[in-house]
Amino acid sequence: MDSQRTKVDSYGALRYPEFRAFLGVRFFLTFAYQMQAAAVSWYVFHITHDKFSLGLIGLAEAIPAVGIALYGGYVADKSEKTRLLKTILLTFFTGSGVMFVVTLPSMVQRLGQGHVVWIIFLMIFLMGIGRGFLGPTVFAMVARIVPRELYPNSSTWSTTAFQVASIVGPAAGGLLIGFAGVPVTFGVILFFLVMSFSCIFFLSHSPPVYVPKESIYKSLDEGIKFVFGNKMMLGAMSLDLFSVFFGGAVALLPAIASEVLHVGAKEFGIMRATPAVGAVIVMVASARFSPMNKPWQNLLLAVTGFGASIICYGLSTNYYLTLLFLFCEGAFDSVSVIIRQTLMQLLTPDTMRGRVSAVNSMFIGSSNEIGAFESGFTARLMGTVPAVLFGGCMTLGIVTVTYLKTKMLVPLGLGDIQVPNQPPPASK
């Protein structure tokens, strides 16, 4: 009776104080990260006036994040996760702190704009290392905070917190750059990183449920084989990887704002926030109207809408019409995120959460940054608008190929998905 009530409780996960603290960590960190992404892209583009530099920002973060992801998952599985999360947050604080210092007018004058840009790239690289550990650590922690029957609900609220921060962060970044300048923006970023760090102290210790008895290489290989042996999990990761890789046109928004729509920093901030507005509205609705009735069918439809939205705002020359299509892009993307995160939580044994999340990070965690590089590169070759249209068309092509190869998964409901046996929970 109680179990059934929990399953239909839209606020079930939020009734756990530790989960609320976890949401605080994620919200404030994402807010700071999204502010920084907007500030860095605007600052670097207006120093270099080079669209390709926007792609290099993503590449500087993706290389270390992908390169260290598997090891990050191994460490997350065998470590006390609350302490590990503190170390990761300190890495982010260091990177943002250095960017705050070097963008001060006196330091820019002393170092020169060219050197400042390279220091920013170096700090993004450092934070990319932190991201390689962050994803597996967070994924493993949330599974210990709420009971298994609340995984779909916790995924919805966790992603909602992420998307709300993704709305406010870029908008605040754009407005602060326009009214107060880049150094003040980085100062606010540091403040919210401190807020995120403070929430960690409300989390209990999260001891490892996995004690490695074999070599690190065999342990990592076990995680890789698990993912590649699960057709639905592998298909979801692959679909998201390639669709976001070719659909990373959001990285070109500074160029679209300046060259196509002829608007400034404040309007750019609104543009960066608009996809997340659509995402949050859908996320809140999903807490009551779940897209998990036929997850694979709904995933394919969501990615189709995502690709179509990219094509539409690539063709738009009207600022408000562009906002509408960016809104739709975020709405469709949020459905994809909810489905994929829920499937991963349900299909992953507790003892492998860090390593499976690490493989997911290699597929998806840095696909936005690699997609940003692809968009910047194609924009240099083709121009801004053709690069956006190319990305949207490739996304639709990938959905078509995925559908043809996974037709047998389309009619499956959530109850048809085979869930692996779970070990008993570790004693506290």
Please check the confidence at residue 423 and state whether its pLDDT lies above 50. no
Output the pLDDT for position 305.
92
Residue 216 lies in a domain: no
Question: 420 in a domain, yes or no?
Answer: no
Lowest mean pLDDT among 5-14, 72-81, 260-269: 5-14
Give the lowest-confidence range in 74-78, 200-204, 351-355, 410-414: 351-355
Looking at residue 130, which CATH number applies to its domain? 1.20.1250.20
Domain count, the chain: 1
Give the pLDDT confidence score for residue 13 in this predicted structure. 77
Would you state the pLDDT for residue 327?
92
266-276 residue pLDDT tens: 788 788 778 87
Prediction pTM value: 0.62
Is 215 contained in some domain? no
User: Is 390 within a domain?
Assistant: yes
- Is residue 372 one of the residues assigned to a domain? yes
For residue 370, pLDDT over 70 is answered with: no
Q: What is the pLDDT of residues 402-421, one digit of tens each?
A: 888 888 877 776 665 655 55
Give the model's confidence band at 99: pLDDT under 50 very low, under 70 low, under 90 confident, else very high. Answer: very high
pLDDT at residue 73 is higher than 90 = no
Q: Is 248 inside any structural domain?
A: yes
Q: Give pLDDT tens digits for 296-338.
A: 888 889 889 998 999 998 898 899 999 999 999 888 888 887 7
Instruction: Report the pLDDT averaged over residues 62-66.
Output: 78
* Structural domain of 363: 17-199+226-415
Decide if 66 is inside a domain.
Answer: yes
Q: Is the residue at 2 inside a domain?
A: no
Per-residue pLDDT tens for 162-184? 767 876 787 778 778 777 888 88
pLDDT-derived band at 366 (thresholds 50, 70, 90) equals low
Q: How confident is the model at residue 215 (pLDDT cuts 50, 70, 90)?
A: low
pLDDT above 90 for 195:
yes
Three-state secondary structure along the chain?
CHHHHHHCCCCCHHHCHHHHHHHHHHHHHHHHHHHHHHHHHHHHHHHHCCHHHHHHHHHHHHHHHHHCHHHHHHHHHHCCHHHHHHHHHHHHHHHHHHHHHHCCHHHHHHHCHHHHHHHHHHHHHHHHHHHHHHHHHHHHHHHHHCCHHHHHHHHHHHHHHHHHHHHHHHHHHHHHHHHCCHHHHHHHHHHHHHHHHHHHHHCCCCCCCCCCCCCHHHHHHHHHHHHHCCHHHHHHHHHHHHHHHHCCHHHHHHHHHHHHCCCCHHHHHHHHHHHHHHHHHHHHHHCCCCHHHCHHHHHHHHHHHHHHHHHHHHHCCCHHHHHHHHHHHHHHHHHHHHHHHHHHHHHCCHHHHHHHHHHHHHHHHCHHHHHHHHHHHHHHHHCHHHHHHHHHHHHHHHHHHHHHHCHHHCCCCHHHCCCCCCCCCCCC
